[in-house]
Amino acid sequence: MSRIAALGLSLGLALCATPAQAQEIRLEPAAAYVGDIVRLSIEYRSEIPSLYALDTQPLERDFEVLKVDSRTSRAIADDGYINRMHWDVELVPRRAGSLRLPRLAIGDWRTPALTLPVLTLPDAARAAQQVTVEVEADTPAPYVGQQINLNLRVLHNTPVSQFYWSEPRIEDALTFRGVDEIDYRDGGLDVNERVMAVFAGAPGRLQIPSASFRGRVGAWRGDDDTAIPPRRIFRRSRPFELELRDVPAEFGDGPWLPARAFEGSQRWELPPGSYRVGDSLRRILTLEARGLPADALPGDLFAADGDAYRVYPDQAQRRHGFVGRELVARLEQPFAIVLTRAGRVDIPALRLAWWDLGVDRMRELTLPGKSLIVVALPRPDPVEGAAGGRTLAPWMWLLPLGLVALAAVALEAARRGWLVATARLWRLRAACRNTDPAAARRALLDWASGRRPETTPVGLWQLRRYLRSSESIAELGRLDAALYAKTPTAWRGDQLWRALRAELWPWLQRRPPAAARLAPLYPVTTCNPCAER
C-alpha cells in the first residue's frame, strides 16, 4: 500500500512540475550605485501556451519601475514544444543600502527573492562624472494660451551615450516637441538642449512635472585604484509651477490670440464680366501667427449672411511647424458667396483683434471688403410665350414652387450650419473607419468649433463640455491616449463613432422588436467551420 501511495505522490509531483520548467531570473548588475539603472530579467517556460501579466507593484517600495518589456517565443524540445515568456524590467533604486526584491507571482510559479547592494557613489567619481537634468521656462508669468517654451537640458562633464528623454506630461495643456536639438559647452560642461512648446488652456497655476533622462556613462578609476565599471544612469529634473495670467479685460470677447506676430491676407475669385443674381464668388482668407497652434486660429471670421448674399464656408486647411524655437501656424479658409439681390452689394471688411506679446498690448488686423453692382436676371417676355401657342399643364406650375421651397430649405440649412456640421461629422466617420486618430482629432475640433464659434477649442479635453454620455467622454480619452502615447496603441475608431452616434442621433439606435420582424421566406443555414473549433 505504501508503494502505491509513493507512486501516486511521484505522479502528482510530475504533473505539477510539467507545465513550468527551468525558470530563470537574473539581476544585472549584481551591485549598483544610487541613480543607476538595473535590469531584472525573468523567463518563464511552460509546455502550456499562456500569457501571464507581471505584477510589479511589490517592487515599488524600494525601486522605481521605469519600463517593462515583454516578449514570447516557442522552441522545439525533445518531447514537444516549450513556450517561453520573457520580461525585462528596468528599475532605479530609491535609496542606498541592501534592497530586497520580493518574490513575484507568475502563474503557479514564484520568483525567488533577491538582494541588491546599492552603494553611494564616491565623491571623486561624482565630481568626475557629473550628469544633471534641468527644465526651465522662457517666460516667468505667461498668459493663458501663450506659447511657453520649456528648455530641457542635460549637462555633463563625461561622455554620455544612449540618450533617451522622457518629456514631462502636463495636464490640461497642448504640448509640441521641437524637431531640433543643439549641443554646446557652458562653464566646462557639455550641454544637450531641446525645446518643448506648451499651450495652457486655463489661467491659474500650471504644474510642470519632472523630465527624466536615461543614458550610459563609461568606466572610472580613481587615484586609489577604485574602479567603477560602465553603467546606465537615470536622472530627473525638479518639478515646478508657473502662474498663468488671464485674458486682459481690455481685449474684449473675441477669440484670444496671444502671438509674437500676426498677419492676414485675402484673395478674391470673381466671375468674369458683370455680376448677376445667383452668381457665386469666393473669398479666401489666410491667417499666419507666430507663437500659436493652428487650431487656435479662428476659421469663422466671415460666416454671417448679408441682406444681398449668402455665405458658405468651405473646408479649412490648417498646419503648423517650428521655425527656430517658435511654433508658426497657418490657416487658409475659403468662403463661397452667392449673390441673392440686384443692386449695390457691399461685402464688409473683416477685423480681428490679437494680443502682441512683444509690446504687451492689443492690435487689430483689418482685411478690406468689396463693393459690387449686381444686375437682375432678364425676365421672359409673356407675349412671346403666348405667340407660340403653347400652354403649360396646371401641375407644371407646381414645379418652380417646389424648387424654390427646396432651395429655401437648403439655404436655411446652410445658414444654420447644418450642412457644414454634417460634413464635418462625415469626415469624422471616415477617419474612424480608416483608424486614423490624427484625422479624427482634426474632425472633432472642426465640429466643435462650428457648434460654438465664439470659443475655438484647442484640444480634445475641451470637447467634454459638448458631450453628456460617459461613453463618449471615455472614447475621447482613448483617442487622446492613442495620439500622445510613447508607444503605438491599438485605437478603435468604430467605438468612438458608435458612442458619438448614440449621443447625437439617439433615434437611430431604435430597432423594431424581434417579434415584429418577418422571417425570411427561404431560410439559409450557413456553416462556419471556425465556430466549431
Query: Is there a contact between 428 and 440 (Cβ–Cβ < 8 Å)?
Result: yes
- As a three-state string, the secondary structure of 90-113 is EEEECCCEEEEECCCEECCEECCC
pLDDT tens-place string over residues 153-170? 999 999 999 888 899 999
Looking at residue 386, its pLDDT comes to 46
Asked whether the whole model's pTM tops 0.85, one would answer: no
Looking at residue 421, its pLDDT comes to 66
Reading the block at residue 86, the C-alpha cell is 520573457
Alpha helices (runs of H) in 371-492, residue ranges in sequence order: 382-387, 398-415, 418-433, 437-451, 470-484
Length of the chain: 533
Q: CA torsion angle for 391, 396, 400, 401 (degrees, to 10)?
A: 120
For 351, counting Cβ atoms within 10 Å of its Cβ (0-12 exposed, 13-18 middle, 19+ buried), the class is exposed
pLDDT tens-place string over residues 50-106? 778 889 999 999 999 999 999 888 877 766 778 888 999 999 999 999 999 999 988
Looking at residue 527, its pLDDT comes to 44
Query: Is there a contact between 479 and 441 (Cβ–Cβ < 8 Å)?
Result: yes
Looking at residue 7, its pLDDT comes to 32
All domains in the chain, ordered by first residue: 17-119 (2.60.40), 124-244 (2.60.40), 256-377 (2.60.40), 419-506 (no CATH)
Reading the block at residue 409, the C-alpha cell is 430649405
d(CA 295, CA 459): 8
Reading the block at residue 361, the C-alpha cell is 498690448
Looking at residue 408, its pLDDT comes to 59
Looking at residue 522, its pLDDT comes to 43
Looking at residue 10, its pLDDT comes to 38
- Segments of the chain scoring below 70 in pLDDT: 1-22, 78-79, 379-421, 450-462, 464-465, 484-489, 505-533
Collect all residues with Cβ–Cβ distance below 8 Å to 397 and sequence separation of at least 6.
Answer: none
63, amino acid identity: F
